[in-house]
A and B are shown apart, each in its own frame.
Chain A
Amino acid sequence: MSDLRVSGLVKRYGKVTALDGLSFEVAAGEFFCLLGPSAAGKTTALRAISGLERLQAGAIRFGGRDITEAPVQGRGIAMIFQTFALYPHLTVRENLAYPLREAGVEAGEIARRVGEVAEKLRIGHTLERKPTTASGGEQQRIAIGRALVRRPQLLLLDEPLTNLDAKLRHDTRAEFKRLHRELGMTMLYATPDELEALSMGQRIGVLRAGRMVQVGTPDELFERPDDSFVAAQVGSPKMNLIEGRSVRDGRRIALPFGELEGGPWAAALAAFPAGTGILFGVRPSDIVPAEGEPRGPRLASEVHLTEPLGDVTVLDLVANGVPLRMVLPEERAVRYREGDHLQVELRLENSHLFALDTGTAIR
Chain B
Amino acid sequence: MSTLVSPALPQAPRPAPRIALWMVLGAILGALVVMVGALFLLPPAVGWWVALAGCAGAAILAVAYAWERHNYGPLLVAPALALLFLLNIFPLMWSFGLSFFAFRANRLAPPRFVGLENYVGVLSDPVVWERLQTTALAVVLTVSLQMVVGFLLALLFEKQFPGRRYLLILVLTPMMLSFVAVGAFFRYYYEPTFGLLSQFVRIFTGQPFILLDTPAGAMAGIIFADAWMWSPFVMLLVLAGLVSVPKYLYEAAEIDRASWWRRFRTITFPYIRGLLLLALLFRTIEAFKLFDVVFLLTEGGPGTSTETIAVYVYRLAFQYFRTSQSAALAYIILFIVIVLTNLYLYFVNRRAREA
Q: Determine whether the beta carbon of A98 is less than 8 Å from that of B258.
A: yes
Flag B168-202 by CB within 8 Å of A: 1 or 0 each. Answer: 00000000000000000000000000000000000
Main secondary structure of the interface of A (DSSP, over half): loop
Contact of A85 among B249, B266, B270, B271 (CB under 8 A): B249
Q: Determine whether the beta carbon of A72 is less than 8 Å from that of B254.
A: yes
Q: How far is the CA of A29 from the CA of B258 in the complex (A)?
A: 27
Q: Determine whether the beta carbon of A77 is less than 8 Å from that of B255.
A: yes
Contact of B248 among A51, A83, A150 (CB under 8 A): A83
Q: Determine whether the beta carbon of B251 is less than 8 Å from that of A89.
A: no
**B262 contacts which chain A residues (CB < 8 A)?**
101-102
Q: Using CB atoms and an 8 Å cutoff, list the residues of chain B in contact with chain A.
A: 246, 248-249, 251-259, 262, 266-267, 270-271
Q: Determine whether the beta carbon of B254 is less than 8 Å from that of A89.
A: no
**Closest A-B pairs by Cβ, 6 of them:** A89-B270, A85-B252, A99-B256, A73-B257, A85-B248, A72-B254
Decide yes or no whether A325 CB sits under 8 A from chain B: no
Chain A stretch 66-125: residues in CB contact (< 8 A) with chain B = 72-73, 77-79, 81, 83, 85-90, 94, 98-99, 101-103
Band of interface residues on A: 20 to 34
Q: A101-B262, A102-B262 are in contact. Are A87 and B249 (CB under 8 A)?
A: yes
**B270 contacts which chain A residues (CB < 8 A)?**
88-89
Q: Determine whether the beta carbon of B248 is less than 8 Å from that of A103.
A: no
**B267 contacts which chain A residues (CB < 8 A)?**
87, 89
Q: A85-B249, A90-B266 are in contact. Are A52 and B254 (CB under 8 A)?
A: yes
In the complex formed, the residue of B with least CB distance to A86 is: B252
Q: A85-B248, A87-B266, A87-B267 are in contact. Are A101 and B258 (CB under 8 A)?
A: yes
Q: Determine whether the beta carbon of B259 is less than 8 Å from that of A102.
A: yes
**B255 contacts which chain A residues (CB < 8 A)?**
50, 52, 72, 77-79, 99
In the complex formed, the residue of B with least CB distance to A152 is: B255
Q: Determine whether the beta carbon of A98 is less than 8 Å from that of B256.
A: yes
Chain A nearest CB from B285 CB (Å) reads: 28
Q: Using CB atoms and an 8 Å cutoff, list the residues of chain A in contact with chain B.
A: 50-52, 72-73, 77-79, 81, 83, 85-90, 94, 98-99, 101-103, 146, 150
**A51 contacts which chain B residues (CB < 8 A)?**
254
Q: A87-B266, A89-B266, A90-B266 are in contact. Are A103 and B257 (CB under 8 A)?
A: yes
Q: How far is the CA of A51 from the CA of B255 in the complex (A)?
A: 8
Given contacts A81-B248, A102-B262, 9 further A-B contacts (CB under 8 A): A52-B251, A52-B254, A72-B254, A83-B246, A83-B248, A88-B249, A98-B253, A102-B257, A150-B256
Q: How far is the CA of A98 from the CA of B246 in the complex (A)?
A: 18
Q: How far is the CA of A72 from the CA of B258 in the complex (A)?
A: 10
Q: Determine whether the beta carbon of B249 is less than 8 Å from that of A73.
A: no
**A89 contacts which chain B residues (CB < 8 A)?**
266-267, 270-271
**B249 contacts which chain A residues (CB < 8 A)?**
85, 87-88
**B266 contacts which chain A residues (CB < 8 A)?**
87, 89-90, 94, 98
**A87 contacts which chain B residues (CB < 8 A)?**
249, 252-253, 266-267
Q: How far is the CA of A52 from the CA of B254 in the complex (A)?
A: 8
Chain B nearest CB from A345 CB (Å) reads: 52
**A90 contacts which chain B residues (CB < 8 A)?**
266
Q: Can you give 21 A-B contacts (C-beta < 8 A)?
A: A51-B254, A52-B251, A52-B255, A72-B254, A79-B252, A79-B255, A81-B248, A81-B251, A81-B252, A85-B248, A85-B251, A86-B252, A87-B249, A87-B252, A87-B253, A88-B249, A89-B271, A98-B253, A98-B258, A99-B255, A103-B257
Q: A102-B259, A102-B262 are in contact. Are A73 and B254 (CB under 8 A)?
A: yes
Q: A89-B266, A90-B266 are in contact. Are A99 and B257 (CB under 8 A)?
A: yes
Q: How far is the CA of A116 from the CA of B88 in the complex (A)?
A: 66
**A88 contacts which chain B residues (CB < 8 A)?**
249, 270
Q: How far is the CA of A83 from the CA of B249 in the complex (A)?
A: 10
Q: How far is the CA of A81 from the CA of B254 in the complex (A)?
A: 13
Q: How far is the CA of A103 from the CA of B257 in the complex (A)?
A: 7
**B254 contacts which chain A residues (CB < 8 A)?**
51-52, 72-73
**B259 contacts which chain A residues (CB < 8 A)?**
102
**A150 contacts which chain B residues (CB < 8 A)?**
256
**A99 contacts which chain B residues (CB < 8 A)?**
255-257
Chain B nearest CB from A64 CB (Å) reads: 22
**A77 contacts which chain B residues (CB < 8 A)?**
255
Q: How far is the CA of A98 from the CA of B257 in the complex (A)?
A: 9
In the complex formed, the residue of B with least CB distance to A89 is: B270
**B246 contacts which chain A residues (CB < 8 A)?**
83, 85
**B271 contacts which chain A residues (CB < 8 A)?**
89
Chain A nearest CB from B222 CB (Å) reads: 38
Q: How far is the CA of A102 from the CA of B253 in the complex (A)?
A: 11
Q: How far is the CA of A345 from the CA of B320 in the complex (A)?
A: 110
In the complex formed, the residue of B with least CB distance to A143 is: B252
In the complex formed, the residue of A with least CB distance to B267 is: A87
